[in-house]
Chain A
Amino acid sequence: MISCDKAAIICNKAQYREATFTEKLKLRFHLFMCKTCSKATKENTQLTTLCQKADLHSLTEQEKLKMKQILDKMN
């Protein structure tokens, strides 16, 4: 039996498809026993679908750094 903390970490890994097979098995087993974690997992999965649906874009750190430098020069 794994702890809830561990289950949460595995759940997060699973959101990015980085959980191993044994980890997923452990998670399933834990979710079967733990109501709180299965609720949290549901919410976590929901967040993933929301992020995918929103089609988010972002600037990389380098691009932001460049912006800051240009703004600094203006000051």
Chain B
Amino acid sequence: MAALNYISGNEKKLKVIKSNSITFDNDKKRMPEHQLMPDKWVDLYADYLFNYAIGRISDAEVAKDLVQETFMAGLKSAKNYKGDAAERTWLIAILKRKVIDHYRKTNSKKGKAEVRMNYSSQTDAEGDWLEEQVADPFSSFENSDIENEELGLAIQSCIAKLPKKQALVFTMKTIQGVSTEDICNELDINPSNLWVMIHRARTALMDCLNQNWF
């Protein structure tokens, strides 16, 4: 863009912009086009989408169903996929619609739509003091909630990059809190094997987060 400043005259300016757009086109051509690989969807994105959904719908069952519906809708409209966005972004966009539809559905059922607003949390407080209802400026949990959700998605996408077995062991141990013994029995490995896998997973995760989060 700085080059533009040196050039006077409209014609030359136009030329510069033109050449810019050509290089942009070249960049696009060089980039590998996005493709859908539905066979890998569940392994790669299920947890990521599930986390996204659960941030908006706290019911785990409903969130799970929405993820399932998202995959199905994605499969159905796979031929409409243009390859502009990455696979995950495309799926998230579908999930977003699903979440909105879900709220629409529940709201259309009469009675459920009613939202009771109770501004003051203490019902036994005497009188109606405005001061009690002012937002606490030092409360940071609204912001940190948003940040924590983004952090969760960042971690989840880092886990998706791990080798499959490591990712499995790590999620079972860290997120689902399965005991070492049970994991060893289920996956048929010995504990020292498990700890080595955990170690590799944690090292890789920390590297990934250092690049993408900090």
Residues of A whose CB lies within 8 Å of any CB of B are 8-9, 12-13, 15-16, 18, 43-44, 46-47, 50-51, 53-61, 63-64, 67-68, 70-71, 74-75
Contacts and interface: CB of A to CB of B under 8 A. Distances in A.
Contacts, number: 89
Contacts of A16: 173-174, 180
A44 B201 CA distance: 11
A67 B71 contact: yes
Nearest to B49: A59
Interface in B181-214: 192, 195-196, 198-199, 202, 205-206, 209, 213
B contact residues, range = 35 or more
Interface stretch (B16-24, B93-101, B118-126, B149-157): B149-157
B214 to A, nearest CB: 10
Given A13-B195, A44-B202, A71-B72, A64 B151 contact: no
B174 A61 contact: no
A64 B195 CA distance: 24
Contacts of B195: 9, 12-13
Contacts of B206: 43-44, 46-47
B64 interface: yes
Tell me what chain B mostly uses at the interface: helix, strand, loop, or mixed: helix
Contact of A67 (B60, B68, B175): B68
Given A47-B205, A59-B50, A70-B68, A12 B199 contact: yes
Contacts of A58: 47, 50-51, 156, 171, 175-176
Interface of B: 38, 41-43, 46-47, 50-51, 54, 60, 64, 67-68, 71-72, 75-76, 148-149, 151-152, 155-156, 168, 171, 173-176, 180, 192, 195-196, 198-199, 202, 205-206, 209, 213
Contacts of B196: 9
Contacts of B50: 57-59
B149 to A, nearest CB: 8
A65 B76 CA distance: 20
A72 to B, nearest CB: 9
Most A CB within 10 A of own CB, among B60, B76, B148, B202: B202
A61 B183 CA distance: 12
B204 to A, nearest CB: 11
Contacts of A15: 202
B146 to A, nearest CB: 12
A71 B71 contact: yes
A70 B50 CA distance: 17
A36 B209 CA distance: 19
B147 to A, nearest CB: 9
